[in-house]
Amino acid sequence: MASGDSGTIPGLPGFIDGHIHFPQVRVLGAYGNQLLDWLQKWIFPEEAKYTDRSYADGAAVKFMDALLSGGTTTCQAFTPSSPVSCEALFDAAAERNMRIITGLTGIDRFAPDYYVISPDDFYRESKRLIEQYHRKGRNLYAITPRFAVGCTDNMMERCSQLKKEHPDCWINTHISENPTEVYQARVEFPDCPDYTSVHEKHGLLGPKFTAGHGVWLSNDELRRFSESGAAVCFCPLSNLFLGSGLFRIGRATDPLHPVRLSVGCDMGGGNAFSIIRVLEEAYKVGMCNNTMLDGSVNPREQDLAEAERNKLSPYRAFYLATLGGARSLYLDDILSNFDKGKEADFVVLDWKAGQAAMEWHQSLTTETTPATMEEAVALLFGIMACGDDRNVDETWISGNRAYKKS
């Protein structure tokens, strides 16, 4: 990272969003429900519109524009359960030469009849889409069971079959977002002692597997994620907006069993596209966890080492949003720093932009340009603490400028 001379920090790697929903732009930040009710009331009806290719194409433009204006250059995205929407998203990414991971989303229960897809249709359409899109240009395919509660054993088994037949593909799902969902997973999979074991039973947990949220994962489940090479995507905007709970980032980064982590906005459960806003909320979640571990509330829960790990420094935060996220997605060999031969996706940040107080606030660190790494990092913390999408000045994709703030 080098520093510019007019309030901009050039050359951060582009942001990686590990968990986002393509068809939720218009229901971003919808009112009033926890996860399961929110899906029924707001999400499925809107996602159903994406069976119309022209609606999906129009939405893809809005989606890509919003990603780029937030500095996101790669995302792992959920589609609806309609193949046409998946095609629209791959085509839109290819048009911008943007690296994307996505795939047809499977769900065959606990959703309206108009929304579910049968395991056979899911399997057939997934295979067709893998052949049509995977590793074509920068497109990458993720086998995508929406979440185990919404998938029968039959659907999970089809995912397992797809992974065996296409081991190069990614797997993208949700896990342990909400207490009621965790309880329901136990009810629906009575042979599985916990939520993670549903994925273990079907041979899915391992490298290139990412589960969003993981708020309620037990210590033992986190250990199994760590040992298998599977990843969790931390989605604090969404976890707070839906009231899902506080992800235990200090526990997930236990040096004995560190879990591969990315961050995601989880738009529309998350109420913004901006990864800068995601880092702000990630910091807050860590601080709230931290307070509960210092012994002042409950001495039995005191864990000062874990509390320290809950404190998200700007180094760790921007690592999560760039190279750390890439590593969790097994893309760190081709993305997310300036090594020779890596793909040229990056962002230029403006540390003075944003709310009215920002410029004077940042001037406490420097009036001109940062002279040391410490000063540059203090400005970056100022951006993650007090900034938003306005701090993204330019976004570059494959060496071309794809966004410039007006």
Minimum distance from residue 357 beta carbon to a copy of itself (Å): 4
Minimum distance from residue 180 beta carbon to a copy of itself (Å): 5
Q: Quick check: 280 binds a copy of itself (CB under 8 A)?
A: yes
Residues in a beta bridge with 144: 105
Minimum distance from residue 159 beta carbon to a copy of itself (Å): 27
Stretch of residues binding a copy of itself (CB under 8 A), selected from 83-91, 113-121, 188-196, 285-293: 285-293
The amino acid at residue 293 is: L
CA distances from 193 to 41, 122, 182, 216, 218 (A): 30, 27, 11, 14, 12
Q: Quick check: 169 binds a copy of itself (CB under 8 A)?
A: no
Q: Which is nearer to a copy of itself, 252 or 335 (CB)?
A: 252
Binds a copy of itself (CB under 8 A): choice among 160, 290, 336, 391: 290
> Can you say whether the dihedral through the CA atoms of 101, 106, 111, 117 is positive or negative?
positive
Task: Classify 397 as helix, strand or coil.
Answer: strand
Q: Quick check: 240 binds a copy of itself (CB under 8 A)?
A: yes
How many residues lie near a copy of itself (CB under 8 A)?
A: 61
Minimum distance from residue 295 beta carbon to a copy of itself (Å): 9
Minimum distance from residue 42 beta carbon to a copy of itself (Å): 10
Binds a copy of itself (CB under 8 A): choice among 78, 170, 195, 283: 283
Q: Which is nearer to a copy of itself, 156 or 380 (CB)?
A: 380
Closest CA to 78 of 261, 259, 212: 212
Binds a copy of itself (CB under 8 A): choice among 297, 304, 305, 334: 297
CA distances from 7 to 13, 27, 348 (A): 18, 34, 10
Q: Quick check: 172 binds a copy of itself (CB under 8 A)?
A: no
Q: Which is nearer to a copy of itself, 287 or 344 (CB)?
A: 287
CA separation for the pair 406, 397 (Å, rounded): 18
Q: Name, in order, each residue with C-beta under 8 angstroms of 284's C-beta and a sequence gap of 6 or more.
A: 236, 240
For the purposes of burial, counting CB atoms within 10 Å of the CB of 296, is it exposed (0-12), middle (13-18) or buried (19 or more)? Answer: exposed
Are 148 and 173 spatial neighbours (Cβ–Cβ below 8 Å)? yes
Closest CA to 38 of 177, 200, 187, 231: 177
User: What would the two tokens of residue 362 be?
Assistant: 């940042």
Are 222 and 247 spatial neighbours (Cβ–Cβ below 8 Å)? no
| Region 103-162 residues binding a copy of itself, contact defined as CB under 8 A | none
CA separation for the pair 145, 156 (Å, rounded): 7
| Region 54-93 residues binding a copy of itself, contact defined as CB under 8 A | 62, 65-66, 69-70
Binds a copy of itself (CB under 8 A): choice among 94, 287, 323, 344: 287
| Region 6-35 residues binding a copy of itself, contact defined as CB under 8 A | 25-32, 34
Binds a copy of itself (CB under 8 A): choice among 162, 198, 217, 267: 267
Are 103 and 142 spatial neighbours (Cβ–Cβ below 8 Å)? yes
Stretch of residues binding a copy of itself (CB under 8 A), selected from 112-120, 136-144, 287-295, 338-346: 287-295
DSSP-derived secondary structure for 242-276: TT-----HHHHT-TTSPPEEEE---BTTBS---HH
Binds a copy of itself (CB under 8 A): choice among 363, 368, 372, 400: 363
Q: Quick check: 381 binds a copy of itself (CB under 8 A)?
A: yes
The amino acid at residue 287 is: M
Binds a copy of itself (CB under 8 A): choice among 17, 46, 108, 303: 46
> Which spans of this chain sit near a copy of itself (rule: CB under 8 A)?
25-32, 34, 46, 62, 65-66, 69-70, 178-180, 183, 240-246, 267, 271-274, 280-281, 283-284, 286-291, 294, 296-297, 311, 313-314, 355-357, 360-361, 363-364, 378, 381-382, 385-386, 388-389
